[in-house]
Amino acid sequence: MKMRAAKMVEVGRMVCEEAEVRPPGEGELLVRNRFASICGSDLHIVMTGVGLPAFPQAPGFPGHEGIGEVIESRNPGFAPGDRVLTVPMPPHSFTFADYQTLHGDFCLKLPGGGKPLELLMAQQLGTVVFALRRKPVDVVGRTVMVMGQGSAGMFFAYLLKRAGAAKVIVSDLSQARLAVSPAMGADLALHPNGTNVLQAVLDETGGAGADYVIEAVGSRSSLLESVKLVREGGDLLLFGLPDSKEPVPFNFAAFFGRRISASSTYGAQSEPGLVSFRAAVELIRSGAIDVSPVVSHILPIEEIDRALHMAHERIDNAIKVSVSLEGGSGG
């Protein structure tokens, strides 16, 4: 059986071409994708080649945020017709295609109802839930700083405000993202161009710095800056996927001298029972969080290259760019 699938042909360029569908093996599912979303880690891989395995890449790589329907199951936990959120680990990430074949461990059966594109946001939201559950920080009555307002950064702002943070400060290079941030929990939105972010955070905290800082960008400059934003004895979460496999600058003197506690997080997809993704689905399904402001652009799979560049360069005020696989092969 044939399908449409995105294929990375060189760093910075993807095409849509015809590919073979791989039949499912023991424990696996064949899922007919309906939508897939572009993650910041996809952009690091495609646009810069960071973490890129050797060419050629498998069809649909590196997409890992998907929602679709089970067509064939060789896993006792799923049946044809089940609607699923697919959250594959990087070596198995092929959601940029009409079909993907993956193990049932990377699929979460979805309840009835709900808008597919909004439920799809549970993949990114789930990784944020996972990060906050792995190393809980008491933010009640405290000041939080979130660097980056992509979907992950917005979800951090929302969840931390919901957890009782007195003040949530965010920063991003995109004015469009910052315009949406207040609806997702931000009390103060800062743009680095024209604003000294460090000074603004110090002004808001009486010169002390934020109690808890989340770096959700993954750039060398933001990693270097993050340590300066944390108060003495505060907490730092390094969430953003690094934009380089090489060693990056880090202000260890400030980190050491200010007695900062830092952690990183990875691997929500391997959490037993996909507990954090289940919690994210329930937050969206119940209406506890409105993710609709995050979903900004939807392009057909044939325009995968344009979609990636739109997300990377934030063209047309892009926030979260998704790919539609509706109406294609098997649709």
Q: Is the pLDDT of residue 243 over 80?
A: no
Mean pLDDT of 147-151: 96
Residue 159: C-alpha distances to residues 71, 80, 171, 275 (Å): 35, 34, 16, 16
Give the 3-state secondary structure percentages of the chain, helix then strand then coil, rounded to 5.
35, 30, 40
pTM of the complete model: 0.94
Helix (H) or strand (E) holding 15: strand 13-20
Q: Rounded to 5 degrees, what are φ and ψ at 148?
A: 105, 130
Residue 171 and residue 304: Cα distance in Å, rounded?
A: 28
Are 213 and 235 in contact by the 8 Å Cβ rule? The answer is yes
- 287-329 pLDDT, tens digit per residue, is 999 999 999 999 999 999 999 999 999 999 999 999 999 976 5
Helix (H) or strand (E) holding 153: helix 151-162
Query: For position 91, what pLDDT does the model report?
Result: 81
What domains does the chain contain, in order, with CATH numbers?
2-124+268-324 (3.90.180.10), 136-264 (3.40.50.720)
What tokens were used for 27?
């424990």
Query: For position 301, what pLDDT does the model report?
Result: 98
Query: For position 53, what pLDDT does the model report?
Result: 73
- 181-230 pLDDT, tens digit per residue, is 999 999 999 998 878 999 999 999 999 999 999 999 988 889 999 999 99
Query: For position 331, what pLDDT does the model report?
Result: 41
Q: Is the pLDDT of residue 51 over 90?
A: no
